[in-house]
Amino acid sequence: MSETLESAVKAVCSECGNDRERMMDIVRAIQGKFGCVSSEAMDMIAKQLATHRVEVESVVSFYSFLSDRPKGKVVIRLCDDIIDEMAGSADVANAFATELGIGIGETTADGKITLEHTPCIGMCDQVPAAMVNDVVVTNLTPAKVKDIVAKLKADVDADLVDAPGDGNNANDLVKAMVQNNIQQSGDVIFAGMEPGAAIKKALEMAPKDVIAEVTKSKLRGRGGAGFPTGLKWKFTSDAPGAEKFVLCNADEGEPGTFKDRVILTEQPDMMFEGMTVAGYAIDASTGVVYLRAEYAYLREYLESVLARRRSDGLLGKSVCGKDGFDFDIRIQMGAGAYICGEETALISSCEGLRGDPKNRPPFPAQEGYKAGPTTVNNVETFCCCARVMEKGADWFAGIGDGQSVGTKLLSISGDCGKPGIYEVPFGITVDEMLKMCGAKDTAAVQVGGASGQMIGKNDFGRKICYDDLATGGSIMIFNSKRDLLKVAEKFMEFFVDESCGYCTPCRAGNVLLLNALKTILAGKGEASDLEYIETLGNTVIKASRCGLGQTSPNPILTTLKNFRPAYEALLVAPSKDGYQVSFDIKAAVGDAAAIAGRDSVHAY
């Protein structure tokens, strides 16, 4: 066995050119072959790459899809998103646990199947969902679970997809039961485009004119932050550096977002097209798509699209016959880390490191991937770029509202009749949106995912756009029966898990915020706890190093702002003696009493 491991490590490393920066690919390959990256394997990889063991171990220990201890041949990852929970994911989890005879986090005795929870896998429109290795299973019920487990018990490689989904989900290279659920298409993303049309237009122009055109279109980043794309390209283009890069952020991990999944399934050409245009504009010859591990089922298909584009002359040497413009794209797989959707963490990950965000400045446009000037854009943004090139900046700027132009893909999920993808012009109001997706009795809408804001009825007249309610696309709808504080708790638990741990305000502050919320939910909070949450939440926002900590208090702070009575209803009066109501001495001595086999001599 250990000899096979050694030869496998050697083979995998040499396939990756013994390049330490390909660490993600190397450890993923070993994880795939052996079910873990064992201590032994880490030593071998370090030796093979002539690096330190800690370089390997820091990566293996960071990403949730990697493990230093053996897991089952099949790893079942149940999505434990709030939307899944509302659709009965607890029953599904119980069904898996009962059928397999193991608890969450455990592996069956025969070492075949491991059962785990995982945060949002981008399937909120077909919940409850789970991943069985790379295969996505959707719309789960306890009965379906029984069937899946029976199949897996008989054969760990069993085909679980009886009926593939619509569109390219049925493609031979995808074969997923995932449905696109495109409820409304618009003119920018879900309209046809001849492959190469945008590139050819761009190649007729000078690179600086391409940037000028994108700038003129007023296109802003679609990932959530909304940075003007043309300006980003200009910064990258102007920055000194021998080699420049185009990175595509396909690590859509924001709970409730699944728009990139559908673009990657139906419009990958457009995304690659936009990346190629960016490559030409900023003078880069390498593009990287950072694809989240949860979308591994799309990889083979995406590779085939890239291969086709190469043979069609849309990638590779002298793209579209343009001498001097060489551009190719590779896919970098992630390994399960929300933080890698943050652009500097994404760069770290592409460089074979832990997904730690980097200090800014320097910004990626000045010094990014491999220290070269780098443009990092969202999947949807690149598609918009392609459309801007094809149809012109004026056409694009004509759609939308004020400073928010073009269309936006919304991933709508939760309490509504028609969850799915909606391509809408910017400026649509929340009310219009709720009507569109058939939502009834809506009490609250979480705009922008876990890191976004929870709004109530008073705000339903507001607009979805950069200047009002900004969103990377995630819209989660909650009706009047939902406990919004529990929703905030769920989001906060997510951030506590996903904080990279580098900076204290985020690592510790989020835990303290969660504890304070739990105290209130337990009916032991006082009015002063609300003040504490507000002060601490704002400190975490101000003092955190990257976008995660700068937004993680939002679910609590916005529910507190917009649904304060829900909090106040749970508060208790402070003790007159100055004792903390939240401290429960009986519970605190419980462990010791059990060990001592006696109760405390004090009557509590």
Partner 1 sequence: MGKPKLATTSLCGCFGCHMSVLDIDDRILKLIELVDFDKSPIDDIKEFTGPVDIGLIEGGCCNEENVHVLKDFRKNCKILISVGDCAIDGGIPALRNNIPLKECFDEAYSTDNRLGPAVLNPSGKVPNDPELPLLLDRVYPCSEIVKIDYHLPGCPPPADTIWEAMVALLTDKPVALPYELIKYD
Could you list the residues that contact partner 1 (CB under 8 A)?
574, 577-580, 582-583, 585, 587-593, 595-598, 600-602
Concatenate the DSSP letters of all residues of 151-192 into one string.
HHHH-TT----SS--SGGGGSTTT-------EEE--SSSSS-
Give residue for tokens 């939308």. 400
Cβ proximity to partner 1, 105 vs 324, nearer residue: 105
Q: Least distance (Å) from partner 1 to the CB of residue 598?
A: 7
Cβ count within 10 A of residue 501: 13
Residue 63 CB, nearest approach to partner 1 (Å): 23
Q: From CA 294, how far away is CA 502, in angstroms rounded?
A: 24
Which residue, 45 or 496, has its beta carbon nearer to partner 1?
A: 496
* Alpha helices (H) in 252-378, listed in sequence order: 259-266, 268-282, 299-311, 343-350
- Pick 167 or 574: Cβ nearer partner 1: 574
97 CB-contact burial (10 Å; exposed 0-12 / middle 13-18 / buried 19+) = middle
Joined tokens for residue 446? 């979480």
- Comparing CB distances to partner 1, the nearer of 324 and 578 is 578
> In the bound complex, what is the minimum distance in angstroms from residue 543's beta carbon to partner 1?
17
Q: Which is nearer to partner 1, 480 or 575 (CB)?
A: 575
Q: How far is the CB of 118 from partner 1 (least distance, A)?
A: 24
CB of 604 to partner 1, least distance (A): 9
Smallest separation (angstroms) from partner 1 to the CB of 447: 35
* C-beta of 231 vs 589, nearer to partner 1: 589
Cα dist from 242 to 59, 121, 230, 356, 373, whole Å: 28, 37, 21, 25, 9
Residue 504 beta carbon to partner 1: minimum distance, rounded to whole angstroms: 13
Q: Rank residues 143 and 595 by Cβ distance to partner 1 and give the closer one.
A: 595
Q: How many CB atoms lie within 10 A of CB 355?
A: 27
Locate 314 and state its tokens: 């849309």
Structure tokens at 355: 């997904």
To partner 1, the closest distance from the beta carbon of 242 in angstroms equals 40
- Put residue 95 in one of left, alpha, beta given phi > 0 → left and psi -120 to 50 → alpha: alpha
Please state the closest distance from residue 582 (CB atom) to partner 1, in A.
7
Residue found by looking up tokens 């030796």 in the block = 47
CA atoms within 13 A on the CB side of 482: 29
User: What does each C-alpha distance from 32 to 150, 182, 565 come to in angstroms?
Assistant: 23, 33, 50
CB of 587 to partner 1, least distance (A): 7
Contacts of 590 (CB under 8 A, 6+ apart): none
Nearer to partner 1 by C-beta: 209 or 599? 599
When the beta carbons of 13 and 513 are compared against partner 1, the nearer one is: 513
Q: At what angle do helices 89-100 and 142-154 cross, to 10 degrees?
A: 30
Cα separation, 123 vs 138, in Å, equals 8
Q: Is 35 left (phi over 0), alpha (psi -120 to 50) or beta?
A: left
Paired with 130 in beta bridges are 78, 137
Q: Which is nearer to partner 1, 510 or 551 (CB)?
A: 510
